[in-house]
Structures are given as C-alpha cells and as structure tokens.
Amino acid sequence: MMETLHKTSPQCVMVWTIPRNLATVFFKCLSFVPDTRIFYEPYLGAFQVRYECKNEQIISTSTGIDSSKLPYESNRFDNYRVSMASIKKQLEEPVDNIKTTFCKDMSSAILDHLDMIPKDCRHAFLIRNPYRVLPSWKDKIVRNVLMHGEDQIDHVDFRDMTRCQAQYVPPMYGYGETLGLFHYLKQNCDELPIVIDADDLQNSSASVLKQFLDHFDIPYKDSFLQWDSGHEFLNNWVASKQYISTNLLDGEQGWYQKAFCSSSFRPASPLPSRESLTEDLRDVVDTVMPWYEELYSYKIQP
C-alpha cells in the first residue's frame, strides 16, 4: 500500500528589524540552512502600497487583492496584488519538506496591523546602533528615493523624511516602532523574543548564529558562516519582484547589493563619531538612542 504523504506546518520565525540593520546578509546566510524557506519583506510591500494608494486616494482600506495565496512568479509576488491577509495565510499554511520558515520584515509595517501576525509563530529582533544605521539610511533615501547626487546628502534634512517620505521613514525612525512591537510580543507571546545586535553578528558570528539557531531547535554547522557570492540564492526567496528587480537594476547603488554579493559576515568597522554626523542625524540619534538601548539590554551575549 502506497504511503500517504502529509504536509506539515513548519515553524514560522519572524525576524523584525529596520532598514540598514544587516538583515539582508543575515538572511542570505539563513538561505543555506537546510529545510528552510525565506520570505523577504512581504508585509513591507503591502504596507507601502497601502500608504501610496491611500495618499493618492486610489483605495481607502484595501491592501490589494486578497487572494488566498501570494501571487508568485518564480517565487516573486507583486506588491500591488498582495494583501497582508494573504501573507498571513501563506506563512501559516503547511508545506512539503520545510521545517522552518524565516520571514524578515519591518516592525513599522506590522505595528498597526498586529492581527496580521501569523498565529503560533516565534519572533526575533535584529537591532543595530543608530550611529551606523542613520548615515547609511539617509544615504539610500537621498540616492535611491529622492534620486539626488552624493553632493546633496548633507543638504537633505532626514527629519523631514518622516513627513514627506513616511512610507520609507516611519515617525519614530523604526526604533520606536520596533520597541513598541517588542513590548507587545513580550506581553502576548509564550516566550521572550530573541534579540540580536548586528555588531555581535559581525564580530562573533559563530557564537551568535549558533545561539540563534539553537533557540529555534535548528542544528548549527560552521559551514553556515561561508556562502557563495552572487544572486543565485534569490531563486529560492519568496520576495517582492519590485524590490528584487529594482535592486538588481540599480547595480552598486542598490539597497541590498553589498549583502547580495557577500560571502561571509565581515567584522564591524569602527563606530562613527558624533562629530561625523550632520546636525539632523545627531538630533535623530538623541531621539532614538534610548529605544535602541532598551532593546540592547535584551540582546543575547556573544
């Protein structure tokens, strides 16, 4: 008698973060862990389309076509056709030969839609010192969103971006939103979310990655610390076709290009000095540092 095969529900691990936190290189690393699948920023795609359409009065409350499955095209979904409800359903559904689903997304994208978090999922947070995040984030906003040249970076006030580019820069610069989500999950989940600091991931990669995988009952191997440079791993990512194609077309200036071309974690560079930041970024650092420091107090130790 032929054995009947049953699909099983893999554990779903949500990794919450903000831009420029090394999450992409972290997820490239996780791509080579056996029996896993990767979802990359699906909630962010639905959130940004919802924001843009709402402002243009194209739609008022819909996030797109609420299909029962994500509209794949070789593992690519269309931001303009996907809804948060369909993302949630897909992350909860049984799947063959997969033990763990890792989903990387932005805390700010889900904070007002907490009912869209997949049920029974587990949670992690990847954080990074704002002295590292903010200059890199501002650079990408100026170059890739505003389409200005490098000579204009110092003339753009990052504080204005929460108003005129709010779909990219949330009101509390991601740090406040991340802390708010952490507090919610801390109060409403059976286990405390695990917190990783990006500097630790760079400087103590083996220890941090092993603790992360152990936490989710995934066997660790030293071989996970090295991987092939290049984009081939993207074939197995469930990701926005807009995000991936735009990055590849942007070449060296793409949001994720360094991470896509990486082959390992590199040691963290010296922390930028306060004096090296523009006045607007110094002000933002002062705003967000208490939020970062509270999250930092929960991080795993390398």
Number of folded domains in the chain?
1
The model's confidence at residue 5, banded by pLDDT at 50, 70 and 90, is: very low
pLDDT at 110 over 90: yes
Name the pTM for this structure.
Answer: 0.87
Residue ranges making up the domain that contains 181: 11-130+174-267+289-296
Residue 278 lies in a domain: no
> What is the C-alpha separation between 246 and 283, in angstroms, rounded?
31
Does residue 241 belong to any structural domain of this protein?
yes
Question: Where do we find the tokens 């967000």?
Answer: 288
Considering the domain boundaries, does residue 282 fall inside one? no
Residue 18, in any domain of the structure: yes
281 within domain boundaries: no
- pLDDT, one tens digit per residue, over 259-300 is 888 999 999 999 999 999 999 999 999 999 999 999 999 999
112 domain residue, yes or no: yes
Q: Is 70 part of a structural domain of the chain?
A: yes
The yes-or-no verdict on residue 63 having pLDDT over 80 is no
The alpha carbon of 295 is separated from its chain's Cα centroid by a whole number of angstroms, namely 16
Q: What share of the chain is helix, strand, coil (3-state, %, to 5)?
A: 50, 15, 40
pLDDT digits 0-9 by tens, 174-229: 999 999 999 999 999 999 999 999 999 999 999 999 999 999 999 999 999 999 99
For residues 31-53, average pLDDT:
85
Q: How far apart are CA 300 and CA 100, in angstroms?
A: 21
Q: Could you tell me the CATH number of the domain that includes residue 31?
A: 3.40.50
Question: In this structure, is residue 159 part of a structural domain?
Answer: no
pLDDT of 245 reads: 66
**Could you tell me where the DSSP H helices lie in the chain?**
23-30, 42-55, 84-92, 107-110, 130-140, 161-164, 175-188, 198-203, 205-215, 241-250, 257-260, 279-296
CA torsion 9-35-221-18 (nearest 10°) is -70
Q: Are the C-beta atoms of residues 77 and 71 closer than 8 Å to each other?
A: yes
Q: What is the pLDDT of residue 45?
A: 85
